Amino acid sequence: MSVTAPAAIARMEDLLFERRVGNGLHRARRAASNYLLAIDVAAELGMDEVDALVRAWTLARSVREGAVDADVRHRMARICEEAMANTPGARPGVVLPLLQALAQGPVTNPDPHDVDGLLTIAAAVFRRGDLAEQIASDRRRRASGDPEVLERIARDEVAAYFAEADSSPNGAVRMHHLNAAARVATDRGLTELAREAAARMQRIGTSELGMQVIRAESSLPKYVPESFIAGFTHGSSWRDGLSYFLATGVPSGDVDQLRRTGLEQRGTLASLFATTLFGANGLPIVTAADKQAHSMSQTASMSAQYYGHMFAAGLDHIAERFGVPPLEEIADAIIEMGCRDPRLAQGLALGFKHYFDRDYQSCAAVVIPKFEASARSLLRELDEGIYRVQVGNDPGGYVGLYNLLSELKELALDESWAYFFEWLFLGPYGANLRNDVAHGFVFDPGPVYAALLLRAVSVLVLVADILPADEYLPKAGVVQMEPRPRQVVLDSLADPVRSDRLSRSVSTAANVLERAVWWLRARAALRITRRRNRDSDVDGERPDRSP
């Protein structure tokens, strides 16, 4: 069996060349020549013809066949010139692969074609960011490191993103292209263009982004949240409710379960697309490259907000039933529950007081710094070197909260609590409350997040030691306590609420017993009522039930 069509001959010779059958130089020459013949007899130039032309170029270069390479490159240059002149910016799938091949240069020098000129024209006519990025990459390879040429190429690339943003009527699409422009400008050292892109992004209002709220509902037995919230007011005083609150588990859930949930999202349709996370100001923060981390954060958010609503309801019930406790009494109660530093106890108590007064903004402003102070105090108690000395013009100081939490987690901090702390306080995958509150993006976190803040801060406040006296002049009357063994501190970090487990078990048993007694009493009262009704019926004294 033999073939006669140029395309078939080219393909057969190409396959024999790849399998190293016969004379390789002869196979490559014949395959490339027939690819060109197939292009000549084609009705129109489409993607198949472009692929054939690029393959002929590849074969010619693989065997260093200068004549065939020159013929192919001549055709490539002519096609690019005609396409960009007749339909500028309309056929990137035809022009850009050929330009990419031309940018590699000929097998034999010199190059008779003005490839740099063709690439410059392409940068002007193809005004899409992704296309501009490819063209800029080809141009940079030919720039020989010339700073002026490289800057001109970078400016053309950023200009394409700007042009694409300007041509889009959708605010979210404009935001995407301006974000890309800012990224490219920053990477290329074009500070003024990066600032211009940022200014344009800031001018896009959140209402222009067209975001939609997607809600998902599921049924939950009513007794589940009610039985949890009932624990806040089950005791005889507000102290019992506060103890109950400070003994609750991790709001975001077990970290191993969160990881399993994150892994289950792999292979789903949503995992195929990039997800951009936006901040409280409506500007993009990060494109979630780590799909598992993003999925874990979403699951943790649902769990934490669920418990946050129940925390908020429970704390409100405490104030409604027992009244708002005095500040000093709250501080005393926190000390009785294990807090070693009166200043931390006073700060946390003030946070609770603001919460009971429904001043959630002040609550967040007061308790967030206490969390960082507690973490720093714990690491100093464990004799970990967390102070950074001055380096160059950077002054010395303690490491930030992210590093503090990382150090605690590496030492002993329960991983589930550590994840909850990172999710609540830090970003980009999480609520990022510490940064948003500190930088003025969030003024009032509301009752749910305020309650979550109180729960998070109370964990470290009850575990931390006396805050180090960093003042220049030590204050009189500071309580001195015996230092704790290192293992005691590590055990407290590994299981922060273990001291409350016995009381929680006793409380749970008491709840069961009390409900059983109540049920028995209710049944007895019901039997007495029914007996009285039967007796009255027998005596003919049935009550009148007419309307």
Number of C-alpha atoms within 13 angstroms, CB side, residue 335?
16
**Helix and strand totals (H; E) in the chain:** 23, 4
Q: Is the pLDDT of residue 388 over 80?
A: no
**What is the 3 state secondary structure string of 392-436?**
CCECCEECCHHHHHHHHHHHCCCHHHHHHHHHHHCCCCCCCHHHH
Phi/psi at 438 (nearest 5 deg)? -65, -35
Query: Are 492 and 465 within 8 A, CB to CB?
Result: no
CA R_g for the chain: 36
Per-residue pLDDT at 414: 94
CA distances from 300 to 253, 314, 367 (A): 7, 21, 22
Q: At what angle do helices 191-202 and 171-187 cross, to 10 degrees?
A: 160
Q: Vertex 515, ends 509 and 518: CA angle to 5°?
A: 140
Q: Quick one: pLDDT at residue 509?
A: 41
What is the model's pLDDT at position 537? 52
Residues facing 277 on adjacent strands: 286
Residues 6+ apart with CB under 8 A from 31: 9, 10, 11, 13, 14, 17, 56, 59
With a cut of 50, say whether residue 14 has pLDDT above it.
yes
Range 343-348, long-range pairs (CB < 8 A, 24+ positions): 343/467, 344/370, 344/373, 344/374, 344/461, 344/464, 344/467, 345/461, 347/461, 348/454, 348/457, 348/458, 348/461
Average pLDDT over the chain, rounded to whole? 85
pLDDT in tens, 87-139: 998 899 999 999 999 999 998 878 899 999 999 999 999 989 999 999 999 99
The answer to whether the beta carbons of residues 461 and 497 sit under 8 Å apart is no
115-125 and 129-141 helices cross at what angle (nearest 10)?
160
Q: Find out whether 38 and 10 touch, Cβ atoms under 8 Å.
A: yes
Phi, psi (deg, nearest 5) at residue 506 = -60, -40
The arithmetic mean of pLDDT across residues 521-535, rounded, is 51
Which residue in this structure is represented by tokens 């609420």? 497
On the question of pLDDT at 44 being above 90, the answer is: no
pLDDT in tens, 323-382: 999 999 999 999 999 898 999 999 999 999 999 999 999 999 999 999 999 999 999 999
Note the pLDDT of residue 499: 45
65-92 pLDDT, tens digit each: 888 899 999 999 999 999 999 999 889 9
Q: What is the pLDDT of residue 71?
A: 92
Q: Which pLDDT does position 517 carry in this prediction?
A: 45
Is the C-alpha dihedral spanning 334, 335, 340, 342 positive or negative? positive
Q: In the chain, what's the furthest Cα-to-Cα distance?
A: 125
What does the alpha-carbon distance between residue 73 and residue 79 come to, in Å, rounded to a whole number? 10
pLDDT at 80: 94
In angstroms, the CA 57 to CA 95 distance is 15
Q: Which two tokens stand for residue 393?
A: 């013009």
Q: In angstroms, how far is the first alpha carbon of the chain from the final one?
A: 104
* Residue 47 near residue 94, CB atoms below 8 Å: yes
Contact between 274 and 284 (Cβ < 8 Å): no
Q: Enter the pTM of the model.
A: 0.72
pLDDT value, residue 481: 64
Neighbours of 447 (CB within 10 A): 19
Contact 460, 375 (CB under 8 A): yes
pLDDT at 500 over 50: no
Separation of alpha carbons 187 and 326, rounded Å: 56
**DSSP letter assigned to residue 272:** G
Specify which residues 387 forms β-bridges with.
Answer: 398
Question: Each residue of 271-288: pLDDT tens digit?
Answer: 666 777 777 677 887 777
Q: What was the pLDDT predicted at 123?
A: 94
| pLDDT attached to residue 503 | 43
pLDDT, tens digit (0-9, with 9 covering 90-100), for 192-244 = 999 999 999 999 988 888 887 777 777 778 878 889 999 999 999 999 999 99
**Dihedral of the CA atoms 301, 307, 313, 318 (nearest 10)?**
-130
Query: For the residues 149-168, what does the mean pLDDT come to?
Result: 94
pLDDT band at 397 (very low <50, low <70, confident <90, very high): confident
pLDDT tens, 442-489?
A: 889 999 999 999 999 999 999 998 877 655 445 544 455 678 899 999
DSSP-assigned letter for residue 443? S
